[in-house]
A and B are shown apart, each in its own frame.
Chain A
Amino acid sequence: MTDPQPSPPRRPARSETHAAGGRRGQGIAALAGIGAIALAGAAAFAWTAGWIGPERLTSQRFLDTMEAGGPAHPGFRRAHSKGVCVSGSFTGTPQGRALSDADAFAGQPVAVTGRLSIGGGDPQGDDATARVRSLALQIGGRGETQWRMAMNSFPFLAVATPGEFHSQVVANAPDPATGKPDPEAAAAFLAAHPRAQAFQAWAKSAPWSDSWANTQYNSVNAFQFVAADGQRRAVRWSMRPQAPFAAMDAEARAAAGPDFLAAEFERRLAAGPVRWDMVAMLAAPGDAVDDPSRPWPEDREQVVVGVLELDAATPQATGACRDINFDPLVLPAGVEPSADPILSARSAVYARSFNRRQREIAVGDGDQATRPEPRR
């Protein structure tokens, strides 16, 4: 009538699980199928992660190649390693608001944390010989929507794709035997890449300014501005200095000392904030939106969308910018990436570089990068 209290589980006889003898062969086939499914799952995952399959240019491989180009500087950025932290504010214009719905263009000043730097992987590099200068910004604070930018003084890139970029790094890497780049490899790369020749022509001919403050910084990569009404425009932007350009030749730079940029910028700040106009250049139909090696004609419509004001600088070892990854794809609503392949590659490689240097700091290898600098 009633069921008894729960009894200990009864294990059925083996014949009950395998009712018929022929089922055993089926069972083995089923187990083989299950093994194959598990293996296929593991293989698909390993392929996705880039562990197996034909060698692909992953962010890891890209960064490994860059690191092989010079001595290791644990805790520092892999590129543009030398710089100072800066801070200030950004104020958008109504013209900017008309182009993009981004909060930064709302008209109220938004807090900015940033970094002025020179190109190259040496944290003690010589300002006098650094052809490339850079400005990185984070508009907006912690827990808020943010807009990060990483801009450079060159007007266009030498390469159009991550693959070309990688080849360029390899071609200019030091030969282990001599410790110097192989001139033949560098020449071969140049010969095969006309845009790299154009870049070299710019590097040779463009005048150098005497300050970070009167240098123009360009987004180089294109983005989409999306207005409140949904209208989209392809843009490249620049921070155009309000400070007048003053040229400085090689002799004067050498005389100024290896750290003249930071010293000069501090002197300038002592006299008041330094400002740039943010100028958006709007693409016309047919412009190379997705190719950062091809600048757009200078007669394209240009709109002043905001004003950047920097009023303080601190050494990067102890400044707020040290632990920021200036990933150009941290964007607010109203700004979207273009399909420029260099843009997504920058995002991927910056993230890996950031993870590596944070780990070096975490395990105590990054003392050089975090120790307060002696006052100059």
Chain B
Amino acid sequence: MEDDKIVQLYLNRDETAIRQTSEKYGSRLRAISYRITSDRETSEECVNDTYLETWNRIPPSDPKDYFYAFLAKITRALSIDRCRERTRLKRDSYIVELTSELEMCIPAVNDVADDVEAKLLGEAISRYLYTLSDEKQVMFIRRYFYLDTVSEIANRLSISDSKVKTTLFRVRNELRNYLIQEGYTL
């Protein structure tokens, strides 16, 4: 079923929308959450909370043209928050590892106006990513949006782990330079 029609069901407050969403995207959302939390029970919670959040956000949101990304962002944010809240998940080290990789290329976000600043920064990063080849874009987003391991990315792209690491290192350096040119302070 096409995404715009699923979104239309939400807009019409038709509960079939939830069933359609889980049937079409439940497997992918579960994978996103599990990659981040590495815990079956928590990922189940995050996916279910994604459905509730989606039901609450549409309307007024109307993500007909980007429904999967809309869902993925919610699942990702909920899953990262759960990891921070629940130290028993022992995902701190992985989250810290990924954050530290971004340390040198992304500026810290101001606590006060963080949503607005984070959004503007996200837009600047997107502009940079669009200058890259498809493979480099995918590598960066799989690593820092989907939180894939280096091996998972290498397997997806049929390349070696070392090539993934080297490429990500270069992309991060180029991103740093790009953001400095855009006026960000690092």
Q: Please say whether chains A and B are actual partners in one complex.
A: no
